[in-house]
Amino acid sequence: MKVLIVEDENAAARRLEKLLTEVEPEAVVLARLDSVESSILWLQNNPQPELILLDIHLADGASFEIFEHATVSCPIIFTTAYDEYALQAFKVNAVDYLLKPIKTNELSAALGKYKKVFATQKPDYSALLETLRKQEGGNHLRRMLIRFGNSIKLVDMTDAAYFYTKDKITFLVTRSTGKRYPVDYPLDKLESMLDRKAFFRINRQFIVNVAAIKEMHPYSKSRVKVELEPSTDQETIVSTERSSEFKKWLVGEEV
């Protein structure tokens, strides 16, 4: 049994590996990972394990974000110190759920369940992920994995100043560094993925983060010209058809 352990507490990860070898002496731990980012990179560059022991809350985010950037086709036993999640969602989606501190008999039972059922079928995580997103307080995109050259960068959406299109390519500009990165999503798709409380599509070319708005000026036909930080040489004028919604969005009204 080839197992991947994802746990951000080093002591808990060591204890889990120790329990695993006691319950399943022939198990091979392929790696011990401690974050969403490292898990994504590992899964993108290695064959699928036979089983993943996955903590729900990791240091850099909720583990369900891994599924948005990497293929996961193997069974998973989730672990967590929190019991507020809907247990039934895990049961009907061919996964198991263990509360910390994990007991030997509980891990043994979960592995037995895996051997009996999960090893012969591919689980469907779609309903489970939807439940987790709701429990986390929303289903908007929190991080984005970006490839550029031979590098991969994980960008938190709180650091995304704005998105814009140029020559049919979509770019993200970060607040912290002002650097721009090409992204794989068109603005139409991003508009539905981003947190609408933080991001607004001001025109056909731009989606802006409210935190990146430096100044605003009246423009013709009741429109608004927006100055962004970091600055851009592209035109950032709120379109006529979006001006009313934009003003409501600025003050936190539903749009």
Q: Are residues 86 and 153 in the same domain?
A: no
Position 88 scores a pLDDT of 42
Q: Are residues 174 and 123 in the same domain?
A: no
Cα–Cα distance between 133 and 129 in angstroms, integer? Answer: 6
Position 126 scores a pLDDT of 62
Q: Are residues 19 and 77 in the same domain?
A: yes
Give the domain range for residue 97.
Answer: 2-135
Return the CATH number at 218: 2.40.50.40
Between 236 and 152, the higher pLDDT residue: 236
Flag whether 92 is in a domain: yes
Q: Are residues 9 and 114 in the same domain?
A: yes
Q: Are residues 88 and 158 in the same domain?
A: no
Supply the DSSP symbol for 7: -
Q: Are residues 28 and 99 in the same domain?
A: yes
Average pLDDT for 139-159: 79
Average pLDDT for 118-135: 61
Average pLDDT for 204-217: 96
Number of domains into which the chain is organized: 2
Q: Are residues 124 and 177 in the same domain?
A: no
What's this model's pTM, rounded to 2 decimal places? 0.55
- Among 55-59, 89-93, 160-164, the minimum mean pLDDT is found in 89-93
pLDDT digit string (tens) for 11-39? 889 999 999 999 999 999 999 999 888 99
User: Last residue of some domain: 101, 135, 169?
Assistant: 135
Whether residue 165 is predicted with pLDDT greater than 60 in this model: the reply is yes
Position 128 scores a pLDDT of 61
69 neighbors 61 (Cβ within 8 angstroms) = no
Cα–Cα distance between 169 and 187 in angstroms, integer? Answer: 10
Flag whether 185 is in a domain: yes
Q: Are residues 83 and 207 in the same domain?
A: no
Supply the DSSP symbol for 226: E
Of 145, 163, 9, 19, nearest to 80 (Cα)?
9
Instruction: Find the helix or strand (DSSP H, E) in which 113 lies.
Output: helix 104-116
Return the CATH number at 124: 3.40.50.2300
Q: Are residues 41 and 125 in the same domain?
A: yes
Flag whether 255 is in a domain: no
Cα–Cα distance between 195 and 230 in angstroms, integer? Answer: 20
Average pLDDT for 159-177: 95
Average pLDDT, whole number, for the chain?
Answer: 84
Confidence of residue 145 (pLDDT cuts 50, 70, 90): confident
pLDDT digit string (tens) for 221-240? 789 999 999 999 998 999 99
Amino acid at residue number 192? S
Q: Are residues 160 and 205 in the same domain?
A: yes
User: Last residue of some domain: 111, 135, 159?
Assistant: 135
Position 24 scores a pLDDT of 94
